[in-house]
Homo-oligomer: A and B are copies of this chain.
Amino acid sequence: MGILQKTCTPESLFSGERFSVTYRIFGTEREARAKAENICIEQTVEFPAEEVPAGVIRDHVFGRIESFEPGGADSFRAKISYANEIAAGELTQLLNVIFGNSSIKPGIRVEHLDLSESLLARFRGPRFGREGIRNLLNVPKRPLLCTAIKPMGLSSRELADLAYTFAAGGMDMIKDDHGLTDQACAPFEERVRLCSEAVVRACKETGRAALYIANITGPSRDAQKRARIAKEAGAGGIMIAPGIAGFDLMRELADDDSLGLPILTHPALQGSFVTCQGGMSHGVIFGQLARLAGADATIFPNFGGRFSFSREECAEIVRATREPMGRLKPIFPAPGGGMSLARVPEMLGTYGRDLIFLIGGGLFQHGPDLLENCQYFRSMVERIQT
């Protein structure tokens, strides 16, 4: 008999409803099975299993292997379920149950989440999603066009002039470069005020809608303040890098009815999750988790650009942006990173029309006039639609 003999925790605290995580585990079958059994303990009680008395903890708190099968290339797939209640209705603790300690063990990759309806009901997810953003922009069908104001080092006025040209040239969304925060050359409030005004002015002139998206990633309390400043300045949306600021900050801002702005999620500092054998799949981190945390569009590196994602990895993200997840809305994939105008047709072939083309530096390289480059990009996408 161990030191712990029983617990007085009542069974009634557990509904019996569980959610599942599919892990790809590398190694021989024997090693992989041992790792799967270990995950059941490590991600929950983190305590010697043999010291846990029979009863509610074993029956409900332990993870449970629901299936275990070959996963290709020296690996196995284990689907492990957890009681809803151990996530405590918190996105943060849900992340911890999914991968907290096991992230520190090599050769374990989170491949897919199957969150129960009752767990998903705790999350509001994207406020706008694909349809909501299309409605804001009055663009029912064609791909959307997004670009970024940069380079860092320009003044707020210069960035706002760029934003104006982009909106005048037909870009649907004009976002801050993700490195623009509150540098002295373009302080947050000044930049966001000038850029919001510039885009609103361009829209009045063209008669078309466009959204200026302010990057509010920043120190934890400042991020909240910046979101509010952006709203008051008339920005059309906000961008957050949850790898830097935390997924839950995004959720909180998405859930905030007094804010009510579309959210773009940026992948900065999340790369280590996907570039190694362990970590998380592209679909989980850039698709499922982004959506769970309330992003309306997810930015990620396009295949064939200056990053290393494959076409299949990008397709996996796209699937995750639209697969059934309770009442959570489908969100826009926003592939970017070293894109050029020449790649538009190829991308449509892979992504279909429900995507946001994110093009940055490439807009400066097509021809000598920025407005004309934007117009060319816009006409190219409009032509493809017809």
A368 to B249, CA, bound (A): 45
Range class of the A interface residue count: 35 or more
- CB of A100 within 8 Å of the partner chain: yes
- CB of A273 within 8 Å of the partner chain: yes
Give the chain B neighbours of A220 by CB distance below 8 A: 220, 246, 248-249, 252
Cβ-defined contact, A100 with B269, below 8 A: yes
- CB of A54 within 8 Å of the partner chain: no
Cβ-defined contact, B51 with A364, below 8 A: yes
Query: Quick check: which of A42-50, A72-80, A124-132, A317-325 contacts chain B, the rest being far away?
Result: A42-50
Give the chain B neighbours of A369 by CB distance below 8 A: 3
Cβ-defined contact, A368 with B3, below 8 A: yes
Give the chain B neighbours of A275 by CB distance below 8 A: 103-106, 276, 278-279
Give the chain B neighbours of A44 by CB distance below 8 A: 151-152, 179
- CB of A115 within 8 Å of the partner chain: no
Cβ-defined contact, A90 with B219, below 8 A: yes
Cβ-defined contact, A155 with B7, below 8 A: yes
A103 to B270, CA, bound (A): 7
Give the chain B neighbours of A249 by CB distance below 8 A: 220, 246
Q: A47 contacts which of B150, B184, B244 (Cβ < 8 Å)?
A: B150
Give the chain B neighbours of A101 by CB distance below 8 A: 178, 268, 271
Give the chain B neighbours of A276 by CB distance below 8 A: 272, 275-279
Copies in the complex: 2
Cβ-defined contact, B241 with A100, below 8 A: yes
Give the chain B neighbours of A52 by CB distance below 8 A: 151
**Closest chain B residue, CB of each to CB of A106:** B275
Give the chain B neighbours of A3 by CB distance below 8 A: 364, 368-370
Nearest chain B CB to A237 CB, angstrom units: 19
- CB of A37 within 8 Å of the partner chain: no
Which A277-306 residues sit within 8 Å CB-CB of chain B? Answer: 277-280, 301, 306
Contact with B along A32-59 (1 / 0, CB 8 A): 0000001000111111100110001100
A45 to B252, CA, bound (A): 29
Cβ-defined contact, A179 with B100, below 8 A: yes
Q: List 29 A-B contacts (CB under 8 A).
A: A3-B369, A4-B151, A8-B155, A8-B158, A9-B153, A9-B185, A42-B306, A44-B151, A45-B151, A45-B179, A47-B151, A51-B364, A86-B152, A90-B181, A90-B218, A93-B181, A93-B182, A96-B181, A96-B217, A96-B244, A96-B268, A100-B179, A103-B243, A104-B308, A245-B246, A245-B248, A272-B272, A275-B279, A276-B276
A residues near B, CB below 8 A? 1-4, 7-9, 13, 38, 42-48, 51-52, 56-57, 60-61, 85-86, 88-93, 95-97, 99-106, 150-155, 157-158, 177-179, 181-185, 217-223, 241, 243-246, 248-249, 251-252, 267-280, 301, 306-308, 360-361, 364-365, 368-370
Inter-chain pairs besides A7-B153, A92-B218, A276-B277, 7 sampled, C-beta below 8 Å: A3-B370, A8-B158, A46-B150, A47-B360, A88-B182, A101-B271, A103-B271
